[in-house]
Amino acid sequence: MKNLSRRGFIKTSVTAAMGMGASTVPFAKAAAGTGANDRIRIGIIGCGDRGINGLMKGVYPHLKKMNVEITALCDPWSVAREQANEHVRSWFGRDASRFVSYRDLLAMENVDAVMIASPDHLHTTHMEAAAGAGKHIYIEKPMATEMDKLIRAYDAVKKAGVVVQVGTQIRSLPGIEGCRELFGKGTFGNISRIEESRNSPRPYWYRYLKDIREEDVDWAEFLHDRPARPFCPNTYSGWYGYEEFSHGPISAFGSHFIDLVHCITGAKLPESCICIGRTFTWKDEYNFTAPDCVQATWIYPEGFMVTSSNNLGNGYGSVRNFYGDKANLILGNWNAPLYNDEGCPNSDGSIDGSQKVNPVNRPDHFLDWLQCIRGGGTPNASLEAGYQHAVAVLMAAKSRETGRKVVYDRNNRSIRTT
Question: What is the tens place of the pLDDT at every residue in 22-42?
Answer: 333 333 345 445 655 699 999
pLDDT > 90 in the chain, percent: 90
Q: 330 phi and psi, to 5 degrees?
A: -110, 115
CB 175 within 8 A of CB 337: yes
Statement: residue 226 has pLDDT above 70 = yes
* Residue 37, pLDDT score: 62
379 preceded by a cis bond (ω within 30 of 0)? no
What is the distance between the alpha carbons of residues 9 and 277, in angstroms, rounded to a whole number?
47
Among the residue ranges 8-22, 41-55, 98-112, 182-196, the one predicted with the least confidence is 8-22
Q: Where are the domains of the chain?
A: 6-169, 171-363+383-417
Task: Say which CATH superfamily domain 171-363+383-417 falls into.
Answer: Dihydrodipicolinate Reductase; domain 2 (3.30.360.10)
d(CA 269, CA 262): 8
* Angle of helix 383-402 versus helix 147-160 axis, rounded to 10: 170
Judged against a pLDDT cut of 90, whether residue 2 lies above it is answered with no
Q: What is the pLDDT, as a whole number, of residue 35?
A: 59
Separation CA 255–CA 336 (nearest Å): 21
- What pLDDT is stored for residue 11 in this prediction? 36
Per-residue model confidence as pLDDT tens digits over 317-347: 999 999 999 999 999 989 999 999 999 999 9
pLDDT at residue number 36: 58
Least confident segment among 31-35, 114-118, 361-365: 31-35
pLDDT of residue 8 exceeding 70, the answer is no
Instruction: Give the angle subtended at the CA of 264 by the CAs of 188 and 31, to the nearest 5°.
Output: 155
What superfamily does domain 6-169 belong to in CATH? NAD(P)-binding Rossmann-like Domain (3.40.50.720)
Within 8 A by CB and 6+ apart from 292, the residues are 203, 279, 280, 281, 282, 310, 311, 312, 313
Provide the pairing of β-strand 136-139 with 113-116.
Answer: parallel
What is the pLDDT confidence band of residue 373, given thresholds at 50, 70 and 90? very high
List the one residue out of 268, 290, 271 whose CA is nearest residue 279. 290
CA 297 – CA 278 distance, rounded (Å): 16
Model confidence at 234: pLDDT above 70: yes
- Predicted TM-score (pTM) of this structure: 0.91
Share of the chain above pLDDT 70, in %: 91
Asked whether the beta carbons of 219 and 231 are under 8 A apart, the reply is yes
Mean pLDDT of 159-175: 97
